[in-house]
Amino acid sequence: MTEKKKPGFLSGQRISPPAITGKESAVELIDQAFLAYNAARLREGAHLLAGPMLEADVTIGLSITGALTPAGLGMSALIPLVEAGFVDWIVSTGANLYHDTHFGIGLEMHRGTFQADDVKLREQGVVRIYDIFFDYKVLLDTDAFFYELIAGPEFQREMSTAEFHYLCGKYVRAREEALGQRRRSLLAAAYESGVPIYTSSPGDSSIGMNVAARSLEGNKLRLDANADVNETAAIVWDAKAKGGKSAVWVLGGGSPKNFVLQTEPYIQEVAMIAEKGHDYFLAVTDARPDTGGLSGATPAEAVSWGKIDPEKLPDTIICYCDSTIALPLLAHYALAKHAPRKRRRLYDRREQLVAAFRDAYFTTGRAAQTATRR
């Protein structure tokens, strides 16, 4: 007897996966065995990323929180995504960029254990990031690199954090070349690919501390938070105003998550330019909303802020999972299922994008509306 099609709630695919043989690819494992709970959310996120988010007309912003680059995920996952054109702009903690630089300038980090005696580690000059170990001298050498770099003539002015990181990436890339290595530093890869990297809290890292120290000596480098806000909003505005779409991919939470998402409230609420919100939202987090720890809101809550287009809510996925587990799987799935995209090189177009956003602000946005009311 043929099984009748079930209506409504029972119309979903029947759960009847094949047995795991050990011969499956990661793509096959995700598609066939990740069927429920947060495994299903990860599968849905992989489908969203490798499908709608990577369409040619979608601009993708990525936020990075948590100690991902020290774990090697810059080299294994983030750089391949950038080089494939799967990430168009980035908001990161300064710490991730600082630890990323260790690799680019030839310093080493090692696998360790979270069960180590931290007093003994301190006595032996070893620093621990959970189960990652490195020599204290790694910090001193990286500080010395940035301290000297910031003294250069190119840095003696005010600039956005994207421009600062672009210049840093140029010199990290030069150090990679001198050492005969490649694809070690996300900063260097973003420099080569024209991917702007922003830091929403530039003083909250060792890079920021070196900038502050140099300022005591009269160094003229100033990181312009206003430029960061306007540049990121301009990137999103340009994507939507030209008939394209905007996607955000969030790893973790914190300030970078809010910064990548606040582009839409800034456009709509503050600049008063008509907009609906980001079209696609993919988040990986281990925080919960009910404790106040899931900063930047769930997709549904983000709709109330104007961060997410309410009509696009079905195209939003939040996977409650450790980013160190989810990121390699999502990167693998996207790289296996989708051909590389043409790089947008948004860094090269920053001034043009801000000029267009400024024009919208004065012709249809808040400045125009305020003038009309006078």
In degrees rounded to 5, what are phi and psi of residue 318? -125, 120
* End-to-end CA gap in the chain: 76
Q: How far apart are CA 230 and CA 220, in angstroms?
A: 22
How many Cβ atoms sit within 10 Å of the Cβ of residue 67? 17
**CB-based contacts of 177, cutoff 8 Å, min separation 6:** none
Residue 112 CA neighbour count, 13 Å, CB half: 20
Q: What is the DSSP letter of 67?
A: S
C-alpha distances in angstroms, 366 versus 22, 103, 229, 373? 59, 45, 16, 11
**CB-based contacts of 347, cutoff 8 Å, min separation 6:** 162, 166, 190, 194, 195, 196
By CB atoms closer than 10 A (0-12, 13-18, 19+), residue 292 is exposed
Phi-psi region of 257 (alpha: psi -120 to 50; beta: other; left: phi over 0): alpha
Q: Any catalytic annotation for residue 170?
A: no
Tell me which of 240, 257, 307, 312 is the catalytic residue.
307
Q: How far apart are CA 101 and CA 301, in angstroms?
A: 36
| Crossing angle (nearest 10°) for helices 186-193 and 94-104 | 90
Which residues are known to be catalytic? 307
